[in-house]
Amino acid sequence: MARNNSNNFFMGGLFVLGILVGLLIYQNFFPPTLVERVYSEQDGKVSITTRPLSFTEVYNSRMPVLAVKSDDNAGIVSYANIEVRSGKGRVLINTNPFVEPDTQFSAETAVNIAEKTAGVNLDDRDVILTFEANTSLVGGPSAGAAITIATLAAIQNKRPKEGVAMTGTIEPDGSIGQVGGVLEKAQAASEGGFKLFLVPKGFINLIYYEKQVKQRRVGPFVFQEVSYVPHKLDLAKYAMDKWKLEVKEVANIMEARTYFEV
**Strand 91-93 relative to strand 125-132: parallel, antiparallel, unpaired?**
parallel
DSSP 195: S
Least confidently predicted of 20-24, 29-33, 79-83: 29-33
Where in the chain does DSSP place strands (E)? 34-42, 45-53, 59-68, 75-86, 91-93, 98-99, 125-132, 137-138, 164-166, 169-170, 176-177, 196-200, 205-218, 221-234, 246-250
**Cβ atoms within 10 A of the Cβ of 145, count?**
32
Q: How many helices (H) and strands (E) does the chain have?
A: 6, 15
Per domain, the residue ranges of the chain are 59-201+236-260
Residue 81, strand partner residues: 62, 130
Residue 81 predicted with pLDDT over 70:
yes
* Whole-number Å distance between alpha carbons of 258 and 42: 19
CB-based contacts of 70, cutoff 8 Å, min separation 6 = none
What is the per-residue burial (b if ≥16 Cβ within 10 Å, else e) of 172-183? eebbbeebebbb
Nearest to 77 by CA among 161, 184, 151, 200: 184
- Cut 0.85: pTM above it: no
Residues constituting the chain? 262
**178-191: pLDDT as tens digits:** 999 999 999 999 99
CA distances for 175 relative to 11, 62, 107, 141, 252, angstroms: 57, 21, 15, 13, 4
**226-261: pLDDT as tens digits:** 888 888 999 999 999 999 999 999 999 999 999 999
3-state secondary structure (DSSP) of residue 40: strand
Looking at residue 139, its pLDDT comes to 61
Q: How confident is the model at residue 68 (pLDDT cuts 50, 70, 90)?
A: confident
Residue 80 predicted with pLDDT over 80:
yes
For the domain 59-201+236-260, what is the CATH code?
3.30.230.10
Residue 52 predicted with pLDDT over 90:
no
With beta carbons less than 8 A apart as the criterion, state whether 149 and 254 touch: no
Residue 25 predicted with pLDDT over 70:
no
Percentage of residues of the chain with pLDDT beyond 90: 53
